Structure 1
Amino acid sequence: MTKLDISSFAAGSWVAPDSSARPIACAISGDIIAQAGNANLDVGSMHAYARDVGGPNLRKLTFHDRARMLKALALHLTKHKQQLYDLSFHTGATQSDHAFDIDGGIGTMFVYAAKGRREMPDAQIYLDGELEQLGRTGSFQGQHVCVPRQGVGIHINAYNFPVWGMLEKFAPTFLAGVPSIVKPATASCYVTHLCVKLMLDSGILPEGALQLISGGVGDLLLHTDAQDVVSFTGSAKTALMLRATPHLLENAVHFVAEQDSLNASVLGADASPGTAEFDLFIKEAHREMTTKAGQKCTAIRRIIAPAAHVDAVIAALSAKLAKTTIGDPRDKDTRMGALVSQSQRDDVLEKAALLATQAEPVYGDPDNFEVQGADATKGAFLPPMLFHCADPDTATHVHDTEAFGPVSTVMPYRDTDHAIALLNRGKGSLVASVITRDGDLARQMVLGAAAWHGRLYFNNADSMAESTGHGAPIPHMIHGGPGRAGGGEELGGVRGVMHYMQRTAVQGSPDILTAIGEQWVPGAAEHTGGPHPFTKTYHELVLGETLYTASRKVTLQDIETFAHFTGDTFYGHMDEEAAKANPFFPGRVAHGYLLLSFAAGLFVQPDPGPVLANTGLGSLSFMKPVSPDDEIKVRLTVKKKTPRTDEYGQVRWHVTVTNQGDEIVAEYELLTMNAYEQT
C-alpha cells in the first residue's frame, strides 16, 4: 500500500507530519506503511481552541442534543466501517477482532446516545440525587447538581484498540458537554486517524468538539488546569510518569489511568471436567489468549483451577490452542493474527522468558510455529504460550509480570480462601472471572476479592448464551480497577459521563432550586386556575401548574367492594379486631391502591385530549392510613417535562393525596405521555 501521512487535526485544520515523523510498520509484513508526528504541532493552541471554542459550543446544547449527535455519528461510522476494517488488518487484527474494536466502539456510542435520551434530562444541568430539606418548614433546601467541566478531555490511548479505545472515552465526554483532544498510540494511529476523519467529515460535530494528535503530545499537559481531565490507557510505567507531572499535581488536574492488569479466571470446584462449566472455562481462556493476539487489557493472564483439575485444564486448553490457525488476518481461515509490531513481540518474549523462570512452558514454542499466508520472520507473529506454575504461593513473576500478548499461566488452588488469595496477589485487576454454579462460592468471592477487582464476571450454563465474555468491557458497566490496574474508572453508563462533570451542592429556596434544575420543587410557586391541565398540550404546560381537586369520602362499603372485586381481603381491610391489633392501623383501613384509584378519579379529565397514556408511577409512599368515612383530595402539579419523540413528550406530575385534616396520606409521581399539538 502507499505510505500514508497521518495528520493531526488541530484548531480546525489538518496538520501534516514533518521531518520528525516516526515510521509505522505493518504488523503482517513489517513494511513501512505510514508515518506520524510533528514536533512543531501547537498543542497549546489546540487546548485553547478546545476550551474557548469547543466547550462553549457543546455547553449551549442539552444532554439530549448531544445524545442525538452521538447516535448520528454512530450511524455514520456504521456506514463506513468497512474502510476501518480494511485498514485495521495492518495492525494484525482479524475480522473477528474488528468486532471487539470497531463494532464495539460504535456500539458504545449507540449505548451512550440511548442513555443520554432515557436517563438524562433535556437540559444543561444534571440533578444528582434527591432534594435535601435543610430547614424545618422546607423553605430552604439543597440539591446536588452536575455541570460540564469548563476544560478539555485529553485522551491518551493504547495501541490495541484504536477505535474502541477512542470512542469509549469520547462518547461520555461528548455527552457531558466537554471537548476532546485524542492522542492514540502511534503504532496504530492510522486507524484512529481514519475514524476521526470520518466523524469530522460527517458535519455532525460542533466546531472544536474533537481534535486529534498523531504523534507526541509535546507540552500539552503543561497547559492543563483543574477543569481538565487527562484519561490514560497504557503501561503502568507511562502512567506513573504522566501522573507524577508536577504541573498536574500542582493544579489538581483530574487524572484517570487504566494500566497493567494481571486479570485472572477461577474454575469453581463444582465445574469438573465433563460439565458445561468446564467447557465454558476452557472456551473463555482460549478466547482471551487469542483474541487480538492476547493484546487486551482485560485478557486472562492467570488461570486458577482446583489442584485436582489442573492437568485436565492444561490438556483441554492446549488441544484447543493447537487448532488455532495463526496467519495473515485478512485470510478468513485465520483465527489469530499478529501483534501490533515487532518491538511489542520482543517485549512479550522478554516477559515470557521471565515467567519461564518460575513456571513450566506447556504449550507454544516461539521458535517453532506455523504461520499461514505471511512470513513469520517479517511480521510480528507469536504462537499462544501456556505456562504451568505448580507453586503459585512462592512464585512472584506470575502475579506481577504481564506479558501483553497470547500468554497465560495455569496454577492450582486448594480451597476457596486460597483461590481468593491468589486472585488478590495480582494487587488489582480490571476483571476477574469465576465459572461456577455455586451461589455461595460466588458470594464468598465477592466478599473476599471484589475490593481488588474492577469487575467480577460470573458465568455458567444458565447465563453463557447471553454473556458478554470475560474480556469484554461493556458501556453499561464500569471499566477500570484498583491498585495495579491504575485506580481509574470509565464507562458504567451515566457514571462515565459524571467523570467529566463537576458535582456542586446548591442551596436555596424552592423557587430558586426550581429555576436552577428546571424541575418543580415542593414549596415553589404554583400556577392554578384556567383550563384543566389534562386539556393542555405538552408545550402549553408549565412547571408548577397545579390542580386542586374536590374531596371524596371513603366509605366502609367502598373498602369492602374493592376487597371483594380485587380479591385483596387482607385482614387490615376486613377484620376490625385484627386490624386494631396491628401497630400501624387504628382499625380497618382503606387499601392503598383504592386510594390511588380514587385519586385518579378525582383528577382525571375523561375526554380525548393531549394526554395519550399513563405510563407509570414512581416514588409511591403511603404516609398515613385512611379509615372509613375519611375524606381525601388531591394536588396534581407539573414537576418535569422531557421530550421523547417528534410527536409527544413525558410529563412527570407530583401527586399528593391528603385527608380532611390536610395530612398527607399518599404521595407519588405520575408519568404521562402528552402530545405536542392537539389533533
Structure 2
Amino acid sequence: MTIQQINSFAAGEWIAPGEGARNIASAVTGDIIASAGNNALDVQGMLDYARNVGGPALRALTFHDRAKMIKALALAISKNKQALYDLSFATGATQSDHMIDIDGGIGTMFVFASKGRREMPDGHVYLDGEVEQLSRHGTFMGQHICTPLQGVAVHINAFNFPVWGMLEKLAPTLLAGVPAIVKPATNSCYVTELAVKIMLDSGILPAGALQLVSGGLGDMLDRLTLQDVVSFTGSAQTALSLRSAPHILENSIRFVAEQDSLNASILGPDAAPGTPEFDLFVKEVQREMTTKAGQKCTAIRRMMVPENHVETVIEALSARLDKTQIGDPKLETTRMGALVSGGQKRDVLEKAAIIGQEAERVYGDPDNFTVDGADAEKGAFVPPMLFHCANPDSAERVHDTEAFGPVSTIMGYRDVNHAIELVNKGQGSLVASVITHDPAVAREVAMGAGAFHGRLYFNNRDSMKESTGHGSPLPHMVHGGPGRAGGGEEMGGVRGVKHYMQRTAIQGSPDILSAIGDKWVPGATETTNKAHPFTRTFHDLKIGDTLHTEPRVVTMEDIEHFAHFTGDTFYAHMDDAAAKRNPFFPGRVAHGYLLLSFAAGMFVEPNEGPVLANTGLDNLRFMKPIEAGETIKVRLTVKKKTPRNEEYGEVRWHVSLTDGEGELVAEYELLTMNAY
C-alpha cells in the first residue's frame, strides 16, 4: 500500500514530511495510510509571510471584497467535495458524517459570506454601536470601531471535523482581514490538506492569506505578538497547557478556546412516555451518541430525566441503539463507523471505565459486539455504551469525565430545580438541551442554567420538524461555553469576526468621526448640490450630500382629512379637550404618520430616475407634536452607502423634521435602492 505524504504549506511552498514525521493509520483497517510532520519548518518565516504579505493584501480588501472571496472559496470546495468524501472514509466517518463535516463547513462559509455583505460595510472600518454625544452641543463625540489585527491567526483544530473545524474558524478570520495558519490534528490532517489544496489551487486567496502545518507547530506560539490570535479546539488539558504558557500570558495574546465539555440534555417533566417530546428526546440522544461515533464536542454526555421515567428511557434508547449498525463506513447500511484511531479507542475505553466506577453500564459491551464489513480488532471500533447513575448528587466522575465517543450516562431528577443542579455540575458546557412543551419549564431552565452553558437548545413538537438538532452549532449563533468548555466563543455571525479585530474608542468632532467611519454623523459638514439627490446615481452621491426643503404649513383640514382617509381617529387628533388632558399634547395635533407622509412629499423627486425603491425606514422617533397652523421643514442627508449587487446599492438617508423654530420634530433613517 502506498503511504501518502501529507505536506505542509509554508511561505508559499509545499513542504513534504521530514524529520519528526508520524505515521497515520486508517481508522477502519488499522493499516498505515499516511505520514505527516516536519520538525524543520521555518515557523518564523511562516509568521513573517503571513504578517508582511498576507495581512496587507487582506486588509487592502473591503469587508465586501472578503465576503465575495469567502463565497468563491465555498463554491470551489463544493465542486470538489466528492474527493473529500472519498478521503474521509479512512477517518471512520460515514457518508452522513461527511455531510455534517464537509457540507456543514461549506454552508458555514456561505453564511459568513452573506453576513459580510449584509451586516458589514463595503469599507475597512466596522462601526460597533452608535455614536455617543460627549458634549453639550455635539461638537465632541465618541464611537467604537473595529479594525483588523495586524498579525496572524493560528488555528489549532481537533481531529473530529477536519473540514468544518477549519472552515468555521477560517471564514470569520478572513472576513476580518487576518491571515491564518491552520494546524489540523495529525490523525485526520490528510482530509484538511486536500481542502487547503482546493482553496489554494483556486487562485482566489491572496498570497500569505492561508498556510498549513501538517504536524507539530514547534515553537511557533512562543513567537506570537499582541497582534496575533490563537484559536484552539481540543482537550481541556491541552488548552490549559497552551494558554498558560508564560509568553502567551506576558503578552496578553488572545486565546480562544473551545474544549471538551459534559454537554447534557434534560427530558422535561411534561414529556412523559407517549408524548412527541419523549420520542424526540430518545431520537436526539441516539443521534448524538452515534453521529461521528460520538466524537463531537457537542454530543450529549449526560441525560437528566424524571426519576419515574428512567427505566422507560433506558428501554426506548436501547431499542433505538439496537438498530444502529456498526461497520465499514463505506457501506450504505452502516450507521456508525469507527473512532478516528486506535489511540482514541483506548482513551474512550479508559474513560468509560472511570464512568463505570459510579454508574452501571446498561447497554453496550466493548468486548462483545458485531462490526459489519471490517475487523473490530484491527479497526478503531467501539459499540454505543449507555450508563445509568443511580446517585448523581454524590457522583463526581460522571460530571467531570468525558469519554469522547459513543458514551452517555442517564440519571434521574426529582424536579426541575434538581435537573438544573445536575446539568450545572458539568461546570460549563458548549450546549445543554431541554425537550419540553412547557414554556414555564424552558424559562426556569434558562434562568437557572444559562450562566453555565454557551447554548441552550429547546425543542418540542412545534419546532422538531425544522430544528437542526442538539449537536449542530450554527454559524449564526455563538459556539463556545464557560468553565471547562473553554470560556471561548466562535462563530455567532459578526460576533465571531470581532475576535480577530481590535475594538477602539475614537473621540473627536462629527467631521472626524464621519471620515473615519465613512458614515455621516449629525453635526458633520453637509454638502448641497443644485441637482436633486434623487436624480443622482449611487456612485454620484457622496456622504453628507444634503437637501433642505421648503417649509410646509400643517392645517386642521390636513389633520382631519388624514384621520378620515386612514381611519386613524385617535382622540389626540380629533378631540381637543381630551388631547389637552394628555400630558404629551397641547391640544389636537397632527398624526406622526401624516408628518412622515408630508416629509416624503417634500423631499421626493417624482420623475423616473436612479431611485428604484424605498425599502423601509429605521430608528423612527417623534420628539415634538405639531399643531394646526405650524410649519415643518425637512433635511435629507446621505448617511451611508452600501453596494448590494452589480446593478444597485443601498443608500441610507438621515431624515430630520423641524418646526418653524428649528426644533426637532421627528428623526429617522430612510433606505432606498439606487441604480449605479
TM-score normalised by structure 2 residue count: 1.00
> How does 1:131-210 map onto structure 2 within 5 Å?
131-210=131-210
SS in 2 for 1:466: coil
Which residue does 1:496 correspond to in 2?
496
* Amino acid across the alignment from 2:269: A
Counterparts of 1:9 and 1:90, CA distance in 2? 23
> How does 1:504-515 map onto structure 2 within 5 Å?
504-515=504-515
Counterparts of 1:590 and 1:390, CA distance in 2? 70
> How does 1:157-556 map onto structure 2 within 5 Å?
157-556=157-556
> How does 1:50-199 map onto structure 2 within 5 Å?
50-199=50-199
Q: CA deviation at 1:161?
A: 0.4
* Amino acid across the alignment from 1:646: E
* Amino acid across the alignment from 1:532: H
Deviations 1:280-328 (A, max 9, x none): 0001000000000000000000011000111110000000000100000
SS in 2 for 1:129: coil
Number of aligned positions between the proteins: 676
SS in 2 for 1:502: strand
SS in 1 for 2:128: strand
Deviations 1:230-279 (A, max 9, x none): 01100111001101111111111001111120000000000000000000
Matched, 1:607 2:607: yes
Counterparts of 1:648 and 1:19, CA distance in 2? 56
TM-score normalised by structure 1 residue count: 0.99
Gaps in structure 2 of 5+ consecutive residues: none
Q: Indicate conservation of the 8 Å contact 2:366/2:382, yes or no.
A: yes
Counterparts of 1:555 and 1:308, CA distance in 2? 72
Deviations 1:71-120 (A, max 9, x none): 00001111000000000010000000012110100100000000000000
* Amino acid across the alignment from 1:570: F
SS in 1 for 2:495: helix
* Amino acid across the alignment from 2:301: R
Q: CA deviation at 1:636?
A: 0.3
Counterparts of 1:77 and 1:587, CA distance in 2? 66
* Amino acid across the alignment from 1:223: R
Q: CA deviation at 1:560?
A: 1.1
Q: CA deviation at 1:629?
A: 1.1
Q: Indicate conservation of the 8 Å contact 2:150/2:228, yes or no.
A: yes
Deviations 1:96-146 (A, max 9, x none): 001211010010000000000000000000011000111111111111000
Question: Alignment identity in percent?
Answer: 72
Counterparts of 2:3 and 2:578, CA distance in 1? 87
Q: Indicate conservation of the 8 Å contact 2:19/2:40, yes or no.
A: no
Deviations 1:408-430 (A, max 9, x none): 00000000110000010000000
Deviations 1:421-478 (A, max 9, x none): 0010000000000000111111111110000000000000000111110000000000
Counterparts of 1:226 and 1:27, CA distance in 2? 39
Q: CA deviation at 1:529?
A: 3.2
SS in 2 for 1:215: coil
Deviations 1:360-416 (A, max 9, x none): 110000000000010111000000000000110011111000000000000000001
Which residue does 1:41 correspond to in 2?
41
Counterparts of 1:49 and 1:328, CA distance in 2? 42
* Amino acid across the alignment from 2:599: A
Which residue does 1:621 correspond to in 2?
621
Which residue does 1:12 correspond to in 2?
12
* Amino acid across the alignment from 2:300: I
Which residue does 1:558 correspond to in 2?
558
* Amino acid across the alignment from 2:618: G
* Amino acid across the alignment from 1:199: M
Counterparts of 2:554 and 2:313, CA distance in 1? 69
* Amino acid across the alignment from 2:62: T
* Amino acid across the alignment from 1:575: D
Gaps in structure 1 of 5+ consecutive residues: none
* Amino acid across the alignment from 2:348: V
Q: CA deviation at 1:2?
A: 2.7
Which residue does 2:630 correspond to in 1?
630
Counterparts of 1:260 and 1:72, CA distance in 2? 32
Counterparts of 2:485 and 2:405, CA distance in 1? 17
Counterparts of 1:95 and 1:224, CA distance in 2? 39
Q: CA deviation at 1:528?
A: 1.0
Counterparts of 1:386 and 1:486, CA distance in 2? 26
Q: CA deviation at 1:642?
A: 0.6
Deviations 1:481-523 (A, max 9, x none): 0001010100000000000000000111111111111111111
SS in 1 for 2:392: coil
Q: CA deviation at 1:556?
A: 1.1
* Amino acid across the alignment from 1:166: M
SS in 1 for 2:154: strand
* Amino acid across the alignment from 1:364: G
Counterparts of 2:48 and 2:250, CA distance in 1? 20
Counterparts of 2:94 and 2:574, CA distance in 1? 69
Counterparts of 1:331 and 1:345, CA distance in 2? 21
Counterparts of 1:18 and 1:154, CA distance in 2? 22
Counterparts of 1:180 and 1:661, CA distance in 2? 57
Q: CA deviation at 1:227?
A: 0.6
* Amino acid across the alignment from 2:209: A
* Amino acid across the alignment from 2:66: R
